[in-house]
Each structure stands twice: as C-alpha cells, then as structure tokens.
C-alpha cells in the first residue's frame, strides 16, 4: 500500500504554485446541471474528489473532457470541460455518493432543472456529524416535496415535479457552506425571489456566485451573509477560472513556519487567509501579499504558542485546525485549540502523540504543550486535513515519518509531495 515518507529537519525555501480550490471546483462542476450549454473550468485541480464528482455527473448525463486536468492547457492553467445537454438520469447512486459528501451538491441543481431528484445520503471524511437537514429545509421552503427512502433523498418540485421551485425566505439556524451552495444553485432557476439569511460567506461561495452571475443568474449580497437571488428561466454556458485553494495555501504557510523557512505561494491571496495570518504572526511567522502571491517568512527559531478557535469564515477555518496544531506542538508555551465546527476533528491527536507531542483533549478543546522536538514514527491518516498535519509534523521531526492511508490526502492535495520536495523537503511517495 502506498505511503508518504518524510525525513525531517530541512528548512523550506522557494516558490510553490497553489492549485485551484477543491471546495470551489466541486460546486462549480455541479452548475453544469443548470444549463444545456457547455461549462469550462480553468485552474481545476487534479484530485480524487474531482474524479468522484465527475463520475456522479456522468451518471446523470454530463459529458466531461478532463484530458487537460493536471496539464497546462490554456493560459498555463489546467482545464475541465463539462456539458449536460440533457439530463438522462435523476438518480445519484450510493456507490458513488458515499465516497464523497460534496456529491449532495447535485441535489439542488437536479431539482431546479429537472423537477425530480434521487440522491443517496452522502459519505466522506469521518470528522463528525454533517447532516443534510439544512439542504432539505431550504428546498422544502422552496416548495419541494422530500422523502427519505432506503438511504436516498427523493425529491420533486411542486405539481408532481412539473412546476418550478418557488422563491422563499430561508433563515439558516447555523452557517452551512454546502447548504448555502446547494440552495443558491437551486434558487437561480426558481420562480421569484429567494432571500437567505445567515448564509455562509466563504471565498468558494463568492466564486460560485460570480460564476452563476456570468451565466445569467441574478444574485446580490455576494460575500455577505444576506443573499438575494431573483430566479431566471434559463442559464447559459460559461468559462470560469476556479479561485486558488486557501486551505492548500494555508497548509504550505504552516510548512514554512514549522521548518523556520521562507516560501512564496503563487496565486495565494492574503485576504482569504486573514485569520491564519494573524495566528502565524502571533507565533512568529509573517505573511505579506507580494503581487499575485503570498510571501511567508519565519522570523524565529521556534514558534510561540497561540490560542485558536475555529469559526465560520472569516474566522479561523476548521480545515486548518489540524495543521496549526502541528505548529503549536513544537512551539514554546501552551496553546488551547477549540473546535466549534465538527465534534470529532481531533483524530490526528493520537498520531501526533506517537511522534512525541504533549496534547490533552477534553471534548472540543485540545490543550497543546509545546515540545522541543518531535520524532519520526509510522502514523496513519484518519482524514484529509489530518493527513496534511502529520506531513507537517514530519517536516519538523527528527528522523523518518511514514504516513499510511494516504488516499485521504489525494482527495484534497494535488501532488503535495512533489510541491514540498521542490522547496527543499525530504519527502517521497512510495508504493
């Protein structure tokens, strides 16, 4: 079985090109279901999750040309082309949807365009409960009739699937990125006005809204928690560039910090990483926008401990909690990390402890007492971001770290070992 082997102790220096954002590309792929015209996405990353959603979409009738994924096809950026001239099936089956939670994003577009949808309840990383109740609540508010049968969401629009979804007021009781994305897509083809309150504000949602607007959608309040969507009868095709991956950029920024290094992260945007930048600065690493990239430079031999609480955007991202924990593990002093988004997102802790970390977990709170040195060890990836945190720990550790179960890693990081190796890390993939 393949594994990542890291020999720690090298200071990272150089440039890394940040890939397009997985969490932006997935909903952008789903917009193909809203139009019978082609959708072309540039800067689309070459990841397992992209392949999984491609297979889901193909099963619904989408034609996909992914031959330029991972290659510089246009303007130096990889390209994926999608076209759904007609929807040939309304069923997204369990064997595909169970592989990735984001597959639920086909539900809203399918309903909006076809009037019916049957989508398996999703799977994905085991980082805690992530129910789809807010997705369903919003669609029901828009007039959809929804049943749960045999592990599937079975939905239809009014008039037995013959009518359109109706504009509605949707008040999210808590912030949900996936529900916001699903309902924005559905509302774009609904009849009348939809208003969303307490909507998620992530850059990936801004990117989705901007793409939909270019397709002819009428959306205002983009980038705020109050979205207003006036539905239109049809949407056109589009060519759209996927926003760069702030979580990948954040991971590499922590890599610079944990190795006492200096990196330029091409295409990264400081405005998307404000909360991480503040934490890094407090710990001794400075992030500065440099043209179209981010300059990250460690200013201290050993980082300082800093408390972190995860929050919805623009707060500190839960998807960077595991990575920043690895930094706090080797910092001076004690850091308190509080995870408010997912209840089971400390599964990397036992693996870090195997490497010499001093961490106590009580519910959603982790107390991290910094140690002077970590030691390489065989460790197992438990989820996507945990995988990255263990690589980061390996970069700082004495000796060799061997990371197993790396299929998690390949869901969200494009050739991470090659990118890190190019800036001085001793890291390789081995079968």
Q: Which residue has the tokens 């200013």?
A: 299
- End-of-domain residue from the set 241, 262, 291: 241
Taking the whole predicted model, whether its pTM rises above 0.85 is answered as yes
Q: Is pLDDT above 90 for 333?
A: yes
- End-of-domain residue from the set 241, 276, 299: 241
Instruction: Tell me, yes or no, whether 279 and 164 share the same domain.
Output: no
Nearest to 181 by CA among 158, 198, 199, 155: 199
Instruction: Tell me, yes or no, whether 399 and 333 share the same domain.
Output: yes
Instruction: Tell me, yes or no, whether 163 and 264 share the same domain.
Output: no
pLDDT score recorded for residue 130: 52
Instruction: Tell me, yes or no, whether 223 and 252 share the same domain.
Output: no
Instruction: Tell me, yes or no, whether 198 and 286 share the same domain.
Output: no
Instruction: Tell me, yes or no, whether 136 and 188 share the same domain.
Output: yes
Residue 213 belongs to what domain range?
A: 22-241
Instruction: Tell me, yes or no, whether 35 and 91 share the same domain.
Output: yes
| Measured distance CA(304)–CA(285) in Å, rounded | 10
Q: Is pLDDT above 70 for 120?
A: yes
125, 209, 211, 287: the active-site residue: 125
Instruction: Tell me, yes or no, whether 75 and 195 share the same domain.
Output: yes
Q: What pLDDT digit, counting tens, does each position of 195-227 carry?
A: 999 999 999 999 999 999 999 999 999 999 999
Average pLDDT over residues 387-404: 97
Structure tokens at 380: 């197992």
- Mean per-residue pLDDT over the chain, rounded: 94
Instruction: Tell me, yes or no, whether 139 and 173 share the same domain.
Output: yes
Q: C-alpha distances in angstroms, 107 versus 8, 45, 139, 158, 192?
A: 44, 23, 9, 15, 20
Q: Is pLDDT above 80 for 70?
A: no
Instruction: Tell me, yes or no, whether 366 and 388 share the same domain.
Output: yes
What 3-state DSSP class applies to 78? coil
125 among known catalytic residues: yes
The CATH number for 35's domain is 3.65.10.10
Q: What pLDDT digit, counting tens, does each position of 2-55 carry?
A: 999 999 999 999 999 999 999 999 999 999 999 999 999 999 999 999 999 999
- End-of-domain residue from the set 226, 241, 256: 241
- Structurally, how many domains does the chain consist of? 2
Q: Within a 10 A sphere around the Cβ of 334, how many other Cβ atoms? A: 13
Cis amide prior to 314 (ω within 30 degrees): yes
Structure tokens at 54: 């491609």
pLDDT score recorded for residue 127: 35
Instruction: Tell me, yes or no, whether 222 and 308 share the same domain.
Output: no
Percentage, residues of the chain above pLDDT 70: 97
Torsion, Cα of 407, 411, 412, 418 (10° steps): 50
Instruction: Tell me, yes or no, whether 267 and 408 share the same domain.
Output: yes
């Amino acid at each position: 079985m393949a594994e990542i082997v890291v020999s720690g102790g090298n200071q990272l220096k150089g440039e890394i090109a940040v890939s397009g954002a997985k969490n932006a590309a997935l909903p952008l792929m789903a917009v193909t279901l809203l139009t019978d015209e082609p959708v072309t996405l540039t800067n689309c990353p070459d990841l397992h999750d992209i392949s999984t959603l491609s297979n889901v979409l193909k099963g619904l009738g989408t034609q996909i040309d992914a031959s330029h994924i991972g290659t510089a096809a246009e303007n130096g950026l990889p390209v994926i082309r999608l076209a759904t001239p007609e929807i040939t099936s309304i069923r997204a089956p369990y064997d595909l949807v169970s592989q990735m939670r984001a597959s639920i994003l086909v539900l809203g577009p399918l309903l909006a365009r076809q009037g019916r949808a049957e989508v398996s309840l999703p799977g994905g990383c085991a980082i805690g409960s992530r129910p789809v109740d807010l997705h369903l609540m919003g669609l029901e508010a828009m007039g959809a009739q929804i049943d749960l049968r045999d592990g599937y969401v079975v939905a239809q629009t009014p008039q037995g699937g013959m009518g359109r979804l109706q504009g509605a007021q949707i008040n999210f009781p808590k912030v949900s990125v996936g529900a916001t994305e699903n309902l924005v897509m559905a509302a774009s083809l609904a009849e009348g006005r939809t208003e969303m309150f307490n909507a998620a504000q992530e850059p990936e949602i801004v990117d989705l809204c901007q793409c939909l607007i270019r397709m002819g959608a009428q959306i205002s309040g983009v980038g705020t928690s109050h979205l207003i969507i006036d539905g239109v009868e049809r949407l056109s095709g589009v060519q759209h560039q996927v926003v760069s991956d702030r979580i990948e950029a954040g991971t590499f920024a922590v890599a610079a910090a944990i190795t006492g290094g200096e990196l330029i992260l091409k295409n990264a945007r400081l405005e998307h990483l404000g909360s991480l930048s503040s934490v890094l600065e407090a710990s001794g690493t400075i992030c500065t926008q440099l043209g179209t990239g981010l300059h990250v430079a460690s200013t201290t031999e050993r980082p300082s401990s800093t408390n972190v609480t995860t929050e919805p955007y623009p707060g500190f991202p839960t998807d960077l909690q595991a990575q920043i924990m690895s930094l706090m593990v080797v910092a001076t002093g004690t850091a308190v990390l509080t995870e408010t988004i997912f209840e089971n997102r400390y599964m990397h802790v036992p693996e870090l402890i195997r490497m010499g970390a001093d961490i106590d977990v009580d519910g959603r709170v982790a107390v991290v007492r910094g140690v002077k040195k970590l030691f390489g060890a065989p460790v197992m990836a438990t989820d996507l971001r945990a995988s990255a945190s263990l690589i980061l720990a390996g970069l700082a550790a004495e000796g060799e770290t061997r990371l197993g179960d790396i299929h998690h890693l390949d869901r969200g990081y494009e050739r991470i070992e090659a990118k890190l190796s190019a800036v001085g890390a001793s890291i390789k993939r081995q079968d």
